């Protein structure tokens, strides 16, 4: 078969003619261009197949175009390409293929029609001649007849690249991105995954190979841009109050795709030249009182209008008037006092506090906090003068009362007796410490004297606020029989420090106690008996015997003086079956 200069591919396979139909949504009044407008395949042998590339381009700079269907009017002509429907962004192109497969030695004509969703149609005239069957030519290396076209998409969309090549079949394809082979991209068309802005300016090429050689396409550039986002106002313009003759300023903040434009309006009428995110009015008059200012923010994706900001214009300056007088204060020496005032009037207003008629340096706000006071400041009088351009007003006098600081730490008892305590055991007594003054007291340390006495519960550095208490626990643990005495001393910053508490107690020799139990033996054959005890009548009981005893008696030596105990007994068979509790008996240990 003779290969002419026309772009076509002769192959041995025969494909059936097909009509490809698609449906989708498009924007009316879009501009679509199809290249070329006519294709002549010339003479092709019967049973062969030759293809030409068809390029569709969206030449509308603002609107997208959706291609809904592609139809061939003669069965010898078939169309193939990316699955339809396909939407093209402004400037984006799509490559497809039209194939001629003659079935008879006659001349053929037809057309390929691309239909848009808005109803318009673009056509390509098709023609070709059927010839006799001829043997396949010698292998010819690939030659790229249609290069892949650069594409521009929005982030989140896919892009499709196509190539057409001539040469002896079969031919293989391998697409690459920025020089790296793309796994699985081995056909004449490649559609990317959904892209991100990180893929902007990526370069796509394809290598076409057959048994006679290979050819690599030009690089197609992918441009990925962020989607257009309509404006959204994040900070509304705030209402303003000004005096007649003054200006007012309004501002707005908005998010959205740049560039964004601004247009301010007053009472619904656009203000000439007010086209930025902020607007300053001319000097206002009383006639502008209650005017409403809005701003429309726009970009290519839409627009948003702000809430109305109301302008209040007052006709004259208002002198200060005090609405809340400073209140008298009472503090302890060493503490500070705070005074405040509330006033109405035209801003700006200034403040000047005075003490006993003398201005206080730096005291120029609506509140004033004194330094740490002393009793010398008792009965001092504080006033404040509030001023603006229209006049001034002076507050009533607030009187400061400063009382002397008292630091007192009192204990709940001056002496504590533990009474008689068994040797090698211990007794405890709690002592309550109270801050009886009007200032905080800090305990520095606690010391104890006397054999067998100790104290706990109070740590060094403990701070007690006025009226607060703490518990000191004193312990007497005699090591020998006989009377003992001692003391515990609590040191602090209180004026009555240290606070000393006398301690006394008597150690007595420990006396052993026991309870002996006997019972009538069981009339049944048993292995032994278990003994149980409790300090509560009716239990619950605790077992005293680790294993059943064979005798009908038991002595409990674990009892202590002054305690009542309750006992029960059970019998146990050789099969380790235990009976119910016996009748309960009690014993008071003297």
Domains along the chain with CATH numbers: 32-224 (2.60.40.10), 232-314 (2.60.40.10), 329-403 (2.60.40.10), 409-508 (2.60.40.10), 515-588 (2.60.40.10)
Q: How far apart are CA 455 and CA 447, in angstroms?
A: 8
Partners of 11 in the beta sheet? 49
Q: 221 vs 152, 154, 177, 201, 332, CA distance in Å?
A: 8, 14, 10, 6, 81
Tokens of 338: 């705070």
Predicted confidence pLDDT, tens digits, the chain (590 residues)? 222 333 333 333 323 232 222 222 333 345 788 888 888 888 877 777 777 888 888 888 788 888 888 999 988 889 887 788 888 888 887 777 888 888 888 888 899 898 988 888 999 999 988 875 554 456 798 999 999 999 998 888 999 999 999 998 889 999 999 999 999 999 999 999 999 889 999 999 999 998 888 899 999 999 998 777 889 999 999 999 888 888 999 999 999 888 899 999 999 999 999 999 999 999 999 899 999 999 999 998 889 999 999 999 887 678 899 999 999 999 998 899 999 999 998 888 999 999 999 999 999 999 999 999 999 999 999 999 999 988 899 999 999 999 988 889 999 999 999 988 888 888 899 999 999 988 899 999 999 999 999 999 999 999 999 999 999 999 999 988 899 999 999 999 998 999 999 999 998 887 778 999 999 998 888 999 999 999 999 999 999 999 999 999 999 988 887 889 999 999 999 899 999 999 999 999 88
At 183 the three-state DSSP class reads coil
Q: What pLDDT score does 23 carry?
A: 28
Contact 243, 346 (CB under 8 A): yes
Q: What is the DSSP string of 394-426?
A: EPPPEEEEEEPP---EEES-SEEEEEEEETT--
What is the spatial distance between Cα 440 and Cα 436, in angstroms, rounded to a whole number?
Answer: 10
pTM of this prediction? 0.33
Provide the CB-side half-sphere exposure for 3 (13 A, CA): 20
CA dihedral sign, ordered 251, 256, 261, 267: negative
In this structure, are strands 398-403 and 329-332 parallel, antiparallel, or unpaired? Answer: parallel
C-beta separation of 161 from 142 below 8 A: no
How many Å from the N-terminal Cα to the C-terminal Cα in the chain?
Answer: 132
The Cα–Cα gap between 21 and 65 comes to: 17
Of 421, 490, 423, residue with least CA distance to 460 = 490
Q: According to the 3-state scheme, what is the secondary structure of 56-83?
A: EEECCCCCCEEEEEEEECCCCEEEECCC
Tell me the CA distances in angstroms from 365 to 138, 255, 354, 361, 582, one per residue in order: 100, 38, 12, 11, 87
């Amino acid at each position: 078969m003779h290969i002419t200069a026309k772009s076509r591919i002769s192959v041995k396979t025969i494909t059936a003619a097909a009509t490809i139909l698609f449906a989708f949504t498009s924007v009316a009044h879009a501009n679509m261009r199809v290249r070329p407008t006519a294709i002549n395949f010339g003479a092709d042998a019967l049973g062969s197949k030759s293809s030409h590339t068809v390029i569709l381009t969206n030449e509308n700079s603002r609107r997208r175009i959706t291609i809904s269907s592609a139809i061939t009017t003669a069965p010898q002509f078939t169309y193939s390409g990316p699955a339809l429907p396909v939407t093209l962004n402004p400037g984006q192109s799509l490559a497809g293929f039209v194939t001629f497969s003659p079935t008879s030695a006659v001349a053929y004509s037809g057309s390929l029609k691309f239909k848009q969703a808005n109803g318009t149609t673009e056509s390509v005239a098709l023609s070709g001649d059927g010839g006799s069957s001829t043997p396949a030519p010698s292998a010819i290396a690939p030659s790229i007849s249609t290069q892949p076209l650069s594409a521009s998409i929005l982030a989140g969309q896919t892009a499709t690249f196509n190539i057409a090549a001539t040469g002896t079949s079969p031919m293989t394809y391998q697409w690459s991105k920025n020089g790296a082979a793309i796994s699985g991209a081995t056909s004449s068309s490649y559609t990317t995954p959904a892209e991100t802005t990180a893929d902007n300016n990526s370069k796509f090429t394809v290598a076409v190979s057959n048994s006679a050689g290979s050819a690599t396409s030009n690089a197609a550039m992918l441009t990925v841009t962020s989607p257009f986002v309509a404006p959204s106002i994040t900070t509304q313009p705030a209402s303003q109050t000004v005096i007649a003759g003054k200006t007012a300023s309004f501002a707005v903040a908005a998010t959205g795709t740049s560039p964004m434009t601004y247009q301010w309006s007053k009472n619904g009428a656009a203000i000439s030249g007010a086209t930025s995110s902020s607007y300053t009015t001319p000097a206002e008059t009383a006639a502008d009182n209650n005017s409403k200012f809005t701003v429309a923010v726009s970009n290519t994706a839409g627009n948003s209008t702000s809430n109305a900001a109301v302008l209040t214009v007052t006709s004259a300056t208002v002198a200060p008037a005090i609405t809340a007088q400073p209140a008298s204060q009472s503090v302890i020496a060493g503490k500070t006092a705070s005074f405040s005032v509330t006033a109405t009037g035209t801003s700006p207003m200034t403040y000047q506090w005075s003490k006993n008629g003398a201005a206080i340096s730096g005291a120029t706000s609506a509140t004033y906090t004194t330094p740490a006071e002393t009793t010398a400041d008792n009965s001092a009088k504080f006033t404040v003068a509030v001023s603006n351009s229209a006049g001034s007003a002076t507050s009533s006098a607030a009187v400061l009362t400063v009382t002397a600081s008292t630091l007192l730490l009192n204990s709940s008892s001056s002496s504590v007796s533990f009474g008689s305590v068994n040797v090698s055991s211990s007794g405890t007594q709690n002592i309550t410490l109270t801050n009886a003054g009007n200032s905080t007291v800090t305990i520095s340390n606690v010391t104890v004297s006397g054999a067998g006495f100790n104290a706990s519960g109070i740590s060094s550095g403990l701070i007690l606020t006025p009226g607060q208490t703490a518990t000191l626990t004193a312990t007497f643990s005699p090591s020998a029989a006989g009377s003992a005495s001692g003391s515990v001393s609590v040191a602090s910053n209180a004026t009555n420090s240290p606070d000393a508490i006398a301690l006394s107690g008597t150690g007595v020799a420990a006396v052993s106690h026991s309870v002996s139990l006997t019972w009538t033996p069981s009339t049944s054959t048993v292995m032994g008996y278990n003994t149980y005890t409790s300090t509560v009548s009716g239990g619950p009981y605790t077992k005293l015997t680790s294993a059943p005893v064979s005798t009908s008696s038991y002595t409990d030596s674990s009892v202590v003086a002054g305690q009542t105990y309750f006992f029960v007994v059970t019998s146990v068979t050789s099969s380790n079956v235990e009976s119910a509790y016996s009748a309960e008996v009690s014993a008071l240990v003297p």
